[in-house]
Each structure stands twice: as C-alpha cells, then as structure tokens.
C-alpha cells in the first residue's frame, strides 16, 4: 500500500480535517463552486470518505452533494456485447468522456440544475438523472478509482476539479472489504473473494501508482464513519 505520508502532501484522517481543508480551499477561491475529487483503489473507502465529507459540510451549513464516477459504468448489456462483462469495473468499462463532460458542467456552475447518474448495487446498473445538483450547491465531492490515471480522458479530470485526494488503507483490509461487499450483494463467499483478488486487484494495480500525485493523502482507516 502506498503510504499516506507523501512528502509535501497534506494528510487527512477525519471529517474534521476534511472540513478544515475544504474551508481553506473555498477561502482561497471565493465565489464559486468547489469540486473535490476523491480517488483510490477498489475497496479503499472512497465512497465512505466522500459521504462523510458531504455529511460534515451539510451539517456545517455548506450545501454539498456527492457525485460518483460509478454512475458512468457502461450497461451490462453493452459490456457483454464488447466482451468486457467478466472484468466489469476495469478502466475501459466506463464512459470516461461522459464523466469528464459532467465534471465540466458542475464546475461551470450555471443557473440550471445538473442531473447526474448514480450506480445501484444489487441492480448493478447506472441510473440516469438520479442525483440533483442544484445551482445553490457550493461543493461537489466526486469519487472513483481512476481519477488520477494519466491516460485518455482521465488525464483531464485533475484539470477540471479544484483538488484531488487519494484514499489509502492496508492491503488486507481492502481485500476483506471488497469480498464482504460482493457477498452482501449476492455473491457466494468463494466467488466474492475471487473477484476481489481478480478483476478488483487488476484495477488496483493500475490505480496504485497514480495516488502519490494527489494534492491530499487520506487515511481511509481513520474515523470516517
């Protein structure tokens, strides 16, 4: 696992740390919407961190919404046609251009509501127009595996967000989380572990070396909920 102690990078361990970080970011760039991108390997706790940050911001009086990269999963039928269904979650099983276009709309912060897709586990499909980002929203927290990948459309993500955060947890804990999550949504225990150590680990090998490039390093084993 990459260390969260990347030289020169701030380190966050709790929602209170994140609140202070976002407050400083907003103070430095007043008057416009902030977009924070949370990256990490599968099972690192990106969704948990992002949800905790949104909840903390909301409780503090700041209007915030979470928008996951997973809403841009290609449909299962499309992946089957392309021969990629058996490695769903790989970098080429997402609509990266569509995700990038959404980030640009969110960052522009026009007067219209932006409707973002969400990903429904159990159904294992994306649902369009599921997340409302109204013009009053001050902070968007987006999260996903590939936000720091330096290839194709992913390369442009860091150019259209205000800051990138990378979440880290110990390797064994990450695998246990993944296997438990897959089992919770219907996989047999053996199949859940095999997916965590197979397709999920293949994605992790791509993501892992990108994380040191983040502006902020996050301890995913910290007090995030």
Identify the CATH number of the domain in which residue 80 sits: 3.40.50.300
pLDDT tens per residue across span 75-127: 999 999 999 998 898 999 999 999 999 999 999 999 999 999 999 987 889 99
In a domain? residue 2 = no
- The confidence score (pLDDT) of residue 5 equals 57
Average pLDDT of every residue of the chain: 92
In a domain? residue 223 = no
Partners of 40 in the beta sheet?
167
In a domain? residue 119 = yes
In a domain? residue 225 = no
- Parent domain of 136: 11-215
In a domain? residue 6 = no
Is residue 2 predicted with pLDDT exceeding 60?
A: no
In a domain? residue 209 = yes
> Domain count of the chain?
1
pLDDT tens per residue across span 40-77: 999 999 999 999 999 999 999 999 999 999 999 999 99
In a domain? residue 116 = yes
In a domain? residue 123 = yes
């Amino acid at each position: 696992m990459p260390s969260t102690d990347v030289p020169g990078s701030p380190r966050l361990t709790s929602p209170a740390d994140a609140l202070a970080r976002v407050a400083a970011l907003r103070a430095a760039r007043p008057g416009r919407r902030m977009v924070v991108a949370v990256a990490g390997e599968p099972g690192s706790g990106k969704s948990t961190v992002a949800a905790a940050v949104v909840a903390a911001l909301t409780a503090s009086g700041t209007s915030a919404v979470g928008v996951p990269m997973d809403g841009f999963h290609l449909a299962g039928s499309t992946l089957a046609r392309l021969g990629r269904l058996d490695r769903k979650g790989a970098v080429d099983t997402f609509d990266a251009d569509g995700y990038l276009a959404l980030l640009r709309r969110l960052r522009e912060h026009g007067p219209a509501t932006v409707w973002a897709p969400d990903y429904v586990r159990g159904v294992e499909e994306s649902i369009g127009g599921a997340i409302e980002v109204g013009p009053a929203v001050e902070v968007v927290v987006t999260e996903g595996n590939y936000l720091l990948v330096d290839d194709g459309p992913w390369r442009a993500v860091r150019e259209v967000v205000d800051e990138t955060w990378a979440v880290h947890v110990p390797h064994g804990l990450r695998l246990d989380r993944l296997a438990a999550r897959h089992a919770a949504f219907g996989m047999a225990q053996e199949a859940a572990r095999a997916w965590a150590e197979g397709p999920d680990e293949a994605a992790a090998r791509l993501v892992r070396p990108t994380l040191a490039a983040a502006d902020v390093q996050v301890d995913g084993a910290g007090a995030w909920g």
